[in-house]
């Protein structure tokens, strides 16, 4: 009997120790950090129970002990009241803090930056590409947007969305975001209209916005905007045509290829202020607060003309003779300083190259450079586009595996065709070239990601391209976790976008290594808020252009 009691006692001790260890493991898990190394977006679907939550967290490599996690929820039932939604987890967060967040329902906020100077069509593209937005618009036609917003004046649509950073949660609709931006612009325009200077030749609020949009596209120098406004107001008062290039570009639509010709200036459109008298029928872009203020309160000047001075600003004149002299002075500066250049934008998938290109173009235009063509790699010619399809479309070669070296050779075949038939002729003609990727991509993706011998790649590059290199490269640096989430949110991935995180980590490491070795490569931290990224691009390009003649 004593032996039985002793055995029972020992069993109770063992069970007590086991229970104590179990409780310790549960407490330890609750206070341990999440396994993630980067900010992670986590979506909890409606109806998810405790077991399913643990399995999902384990599958996403956020926790490593799903069974212990289940015991935690049993021992501390207050932690099991979670709400469906999309949340942002940080590496510093503990399991307990994560569960408290899920209980709070405080969903992740995502930024959408609507930038002054861009068109509604640009905003609609941003909405399509932004993550976690619920798309309800049937198409990108302005009439469709006007109907969805229930606008009182459907034709008052371009330029009527306040440029700002909109924060939104997952499943916010595109229409809801547009309504917010439109409502804020209406309020700003109403205020500007009520407080406008006396005697301005505007028939309605839309003409005020139209003038503000022209000012926005003509100058990036805030201190000049009221003077630019005065030139256009003075012209309107005497019935003189505005003759402003940005309106011609807008009226050309998709026909504009980065270069304005005399024929373009002479071709009538509703927006061509070289052929019409007065303001065009609507805005040509989204004006910012400074441009709206300048349109409502132009400076009082005698000026009728202005032209870029080649230094980022403008020279203003009262008569044509003085203006023509200023134009010749500007052309001399441009000829000496603004020889055609090749600018390339690089980065991992989801780095924001399209947005960056728009910022580069806008910055160059404001510096007086408007003769530009745009390229992408692989692609840009009929042959190169076919090679692009072969190397990126996972369905194009069926079950056949593209070898790493074959991939490299296809990239170079497409690149040589583009360089020889498009890029070099454009540069020789005095046209600036803005490229989406170039050889740095091959050195990073195939050299870093694929592990192909770097000496072989450099030898191949030198053999087919010689000493041809971009004049400036903007490398948008993002982690694979951030970039690929953006890319995957856009839809179906191509063959290379489906590679592993390890592949993209190696690619990024090679990008950073090469950028550190080459002064012509400028690294931009693309994980910053969009507005900060765009400011960094503007600053980099502006300083680089101004130093060309230093």
What are the pLDDT digits (tens) for 223-270? 999 999 999 999 999 999 999 999 999 999 989 887 788 899 999 999
> What confidence score (pLDDT) does residue 233 get?
97
Mean pLDDT confidence for 51-73: 87
Please report the beta strands in 391-471, taking only residues with DSSP state E, as ranges in sequence order: 432-436
Please report the beta strands in 272-347, taking only residues with DSSP state E, as ranges in sequence order: 305-308, 314-317, 342-347
> What confidence score (pLDDT) does residue 25 get?
56
What value does the mean pLDDT of the chain take? 88
Measured between its terminal Cα atoms, the distance across the chain in Å is 101
pTM above 0.85, yes or no: no
Residue 344 has pLDDT above 80, yes or no: yes
Residue 16 annotated in ligand binding: no
Q: Is residue 496 a contact partner of residue 396, using CB atoms and an 8 Å limit? A: no
The residues, ordered by sequence, that sit 6+ positions from 536 with a Cβ below 8 Å of its Cβ are 524, 525, 528
Q: Where are the alpha helices (DSSP H) in 32-114?
A: 50-59, 66-75, 95-104
Burial of 184 (0-12, 13-18, 19+ CB in 10 A): middle
* Cα–Cα distance, 229 to 101 (Å, whole number): 51
> What confidence score (pLDDT) does residue 429 get?
84
CATH 3.30.1490.480 occupies which residues in the chain?
Answer: 2-104
pLDDT above 90 covers a percentage of the chain that reads 58
Q: Which of 13-27, 96-110, 268-282, 400-414 has the highest mean pLDDT?
A: 268-282
Task: Answer with the residue of higher pLDDT: 11 or 219.
Answer: 219
Residue 348 annotated in ligand binding: yes
CATH 3.40.50.300 occupies which residues in the chain?
Answer: 338-546
Q: What's the sign of the alpha-carbon dihedral 373, 376, 378, 383?
A: negative
Residue 158 annotated in ligand binding: no
Task: Answer with the residue of higher pLDDT: 311 or 480.
Answer: 480
Residue 354 annotated in ligand binding: yes
What are the pLDDT digits (tens) for 154-171? 999 999 999 998 999 999
Q: Is residue 422 a contact partner of residue 380, using CB atoms and an 8 Å limit? A: yes
Q: Is residue 66 a contact partner of residue 56, using CB atoms and an 8 Å limit? A: no
The pLDDT-based confidence of 2 (bands split at 50, 70, 90) is low
3-state helix, strand, coil in the chain (%, to 5): 55, 10, 35
Residue 7 has pLDDT above 70, yes or no: no
Residue 347 annotated in ligand binding: yes
Q: Is residue 314 a contact partner of residue 228, using CB atoms and an 8 Å limit? A: yes
Cα–Cα distances (Å) from 252 to 154, 185, 265, in that order, read 21, 26, 10
Mean pLDDT confidence for 293-299: 97
> What confidence score (pLDDT) does residue 20 get?
46
The residues, ordered by sequence, that sit 6+ positions from 396 with a Cβ below 8 Å of its Cβ are 389, 390
> What confidence score (pLDDT) does residue 393 get?
76
What are the pLDDT digits (tens) for 482-507? 887 777 766 667 777 778 888 899 99
Mean pLDDT confidence for 285-299: 96
What are the pLDDT digits (tens) for 115-127? 899 999 999 998 9
**Superfamily (CATH) of domain 338-546:** P-loop containing nucleotide triphosphate hydrolases (3.40.50.300)
Tokens of 54: 């643990």
Q: Is residue 94 a contact partner of residue 30, using CB atoms and an 8 Å limit? A: yes
Nearest to residue 191, comparing CAs of 179, 203, 208?
208
> What confidence score (pLDDT) does residue 397 get?
61
Mean pLDDT confidence for 167-180: 95
> What confidence score (pLDDT) does residue 23 get?
52
Residue 387 has pLDDT above 70, yes or no: yes
Angle at CA of residue 341, ends 337 and 345, nearest 5°: 135
Task: Answer with the residue of higher pLDDT: 387 or 549.
Answer: 387
Note if the bond before 414 is cis, omega within 30 degrees.
no
> Domain 2-104 is in which class?
alpha beta
| Residue with the two structure tokens 């170039």 | 438
Task: Answer with the residue of higher pLDDT: 220 or 210.
Answer: 210
Angle at CA of residue 248, ends 309 and 431, nearest 5°: 55
> What confidence score (pLDDT) does residue 400 get?
78
Residue 300 annotated in ligand binding: no
CB atoms within 10 A of CB 36: 19
Tokens of 58: 């384990």
Angle at CA of residue 532, ends 283 and 339, nearest 5°: 70
Q: Is residue 432 a contact partner of residue 372, using CB atoms and an 8 Å limit? A: yes
Of 7-21, 125-139, 526-540, minimum mean pLDDT range: 7-21
* Cα–Cα distance, 440 to 516 (Å, whole number): 13
Angle at CA of residue 248, ends 246 and 251, nearest 5°: 110
The pLDDT-based confidence of 27 (bands split at 50, 70, 90) is low
Residue 289 annotated in ligand binding: no
* Cα–Cα distance, 92 to 141 (Å, whole number): 45
Residue 141 annotated in ligand binding: no
């Amino acid at each position: 009997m004593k032996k039985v009691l002793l055995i029972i006692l020992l069993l109770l001790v063992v069970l007590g120790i086991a229970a104590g260890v179990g409780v310790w493991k549960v407490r330890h898990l609750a206070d341990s950090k999440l396994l993630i190394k980067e900010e992670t977006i986590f979506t909890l679907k409606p109806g998810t129970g405790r077991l399913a939550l643990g399995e999902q967290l384990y599958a996403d490599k956020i926790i490593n002990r799903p069974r212990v996690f289940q015991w935690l929820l049993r021992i501390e039932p207050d932690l099991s009241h979670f709400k469906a939604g999309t949340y942002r987890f940080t590496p510093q967060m503990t399991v307990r803090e994560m569960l408290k967040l899920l209980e709070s329902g405080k969903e992740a906020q995502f930024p959408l930056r609507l930038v002054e100077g861009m068109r509604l069509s640009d905003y609609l593209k941003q909405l399509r590409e932004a993550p976690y937005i619920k798309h309800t618009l049937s198409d990108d036609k302005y009439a469709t947007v006007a109907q969805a917003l229930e606008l009182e004046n459907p034709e008052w649509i371009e330029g009527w969305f306040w440029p700002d950073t909109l924060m939104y949660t997952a499943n916010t609709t595109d229409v809801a975001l547009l309504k917010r931006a439109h409502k804020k612009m209406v309020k700003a325009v109403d205020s500007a209209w009520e407080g406008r200077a006396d005697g301005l030749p505007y028939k309605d609020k839309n003409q005020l916005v139209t003038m503000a949009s022209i000012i926005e596209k003509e100058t990036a120098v805030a201190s000049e905007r009221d003077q630019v406004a005065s030139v256009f107001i003075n012209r309107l008062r005497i019935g003189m045509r505005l003759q402003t290039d940005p309106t011609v570009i807008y009226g050309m639509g998709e026909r504009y290829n980065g270069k304005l010709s005399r024929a373009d200036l002479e071709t009538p459109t509703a927006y061509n202020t070289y052929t019409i008298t007065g303001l065009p029928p609507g805005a040509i872009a989204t004006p910012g607060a400074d441009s709206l203020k300048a349109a409502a309160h132009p400076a009082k000047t005698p000026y009728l003309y202005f032209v870029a001075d080649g230094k980022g600003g403008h020279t203003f004149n009262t008569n044509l003779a003085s203006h023509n002299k200023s134009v010749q002075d500007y052309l001399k500066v441009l000829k000496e300083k603004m020889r055609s250049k090749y600018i390339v934008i690089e980065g991992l998938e989801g780095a924001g190259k399209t947005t960056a290109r728009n910022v580069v173009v806008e910055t160059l235009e404001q510096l007086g450079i408007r003769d530009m063509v745009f390229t992408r790699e692989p692609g840009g010619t009929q042959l190169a586009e076919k090679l692009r399809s072969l190397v990126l479309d996972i369905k194009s070669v069926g079950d056949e595996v593209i070898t790493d070296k074959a991939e490299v050779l296809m990239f170079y075949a497409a690149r040589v065709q583009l360089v020889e038939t498009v890029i070099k002729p454009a540069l020789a003609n005095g046209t600036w070239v803005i490229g989406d990727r170039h050889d740095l991509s091959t050195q990073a993706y195939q050299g870093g990601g694929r592990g192909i011998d770097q000496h072989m790649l450099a030898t191949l590059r030198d053999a087919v391209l010689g000493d041809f290199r971009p004049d400036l490269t903007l490398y948008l640096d993002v982690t694979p976790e951030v970039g690929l989430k953006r890319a995957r949110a856009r839809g179906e991935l191509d063959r290379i976008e489906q590679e592993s995180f390890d592949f993209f980590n190696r690619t990024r490491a090679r990008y950073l290594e090469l950028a550190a070795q080459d002064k012509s490569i400028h690294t931009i931290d693309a994980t910053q808020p969009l507005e900060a990224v765009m400011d960094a691009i503007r600053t980099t390009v502006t300083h680089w252009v101004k130093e060309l003649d230093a």
